[in-house]
Copies of this chain bind each other. A is one copy, B any other.
């Protein structure tokens, strides 16, 4: 049995980790960390867990936790994991960091986009970018996983095969993304009140969203050259779900069947990536609550562009589900254990 500790168990991603690990046959949570609610019953905060979780919330003491657990999930704001991680901890436990601290290899890029000093740059090279479909073998051997951001996961998986195969011009890539509100976290902010979010859609972080360099770094690795993109996220009045609509110019005339064959080649063995049938657009409702990413594309012969689309649950494949998938790989468990639930509809 894998013993897990969660730092930040009362945020939305932390809460989702709890839900998923409760249904996992080979893991159990032994430390519910939540600085805001220390000594309160976890089920008082997340009442869905009444009679399912009897534990009390504890402080974010990574050293003490490392004595009791096999794996630590940090579902906290940027900077916390980097400030706590050190060699003696990594000797004892594996860490899966759901924050952005180790997602970007270049310290200066991190510090520029995140506006803070990095407290543990010595681990930036060692940390493995935990996009399971991309880095499966490296993940199995890692001590420290940088669990990918929600937008980057959905964006990358939607466009990766065509970038990697050189079928699109990566300099023309534009990613227009739309997310439900759980991505903004459980902090009490006026902007996230029901009356502000409902009946509204807006772009935010235009030209400056922090997930941009993360997407660019992974795409650059795939393209074998530096890639700059436009990435624009939007806030949608729904709880869960990310939809990515990506545009790029095709490098040559290519048929639907040829592109489909490329997607199939990359993803047919990937349980969690579903390439939809022709002309069927991904929709967030069809993946809600599950670890699936649905992708598809449409060629526009008029403009010689291709539109690539992906839909995903931001709290599952975009956060907690991918973290569990990483844990499964790291501990030699069936990769889909605890993640086989079908999407919930309606």
Contacts and interface: CB of A to CB of B under 8 A. Distances in A.
Interface stretch (A55-63, A91-99, A159-167, A199-207): A199-207
Name which of A180, A187, A234, A346 has the most chain B CB atoms within 10 A of its CB.
A346
A264 to B, nearest CB: 12
Given A188-B193, A247-B230, A286-B47, A241 B307 contact: no
Contacts of A49: 342
A68 interface: no
A196 B345 CA distance: 9
A275 B243 CA distance: 28
A198 B239 contact: yes
Nearest to A176: B176
Interface in A255-298: 274, 276, 280-290, 294, 298
A192 interface: yes
B245 A234 contact: yes
A294 B344 contact: no
B199 A284 contact: yes
Interface stretch (A15-23, A74-82, A129-137): A15-23
A196 B192 CA distance: 10
A288 B239 CA distance: 13
B342 A207 contact: no
Contact of A234 (B48, B178, B192, B274): B178
Nearest to A191: B188
A197 B194 contact: yes
A298 B207 CA distance: 7
A187 B289 CA distance: 24
Interface of A: 12, 15, 18-19, 22-23, 46-52, 174, 176, 178, 180-182, 186-190, 192-204, 206-207, 228-230, 232, 234, 236-241, 243, 245, 247, 274, 276, 280-290, 294, 298-300, 302-303, 305, 307, 309, 311, 340-346
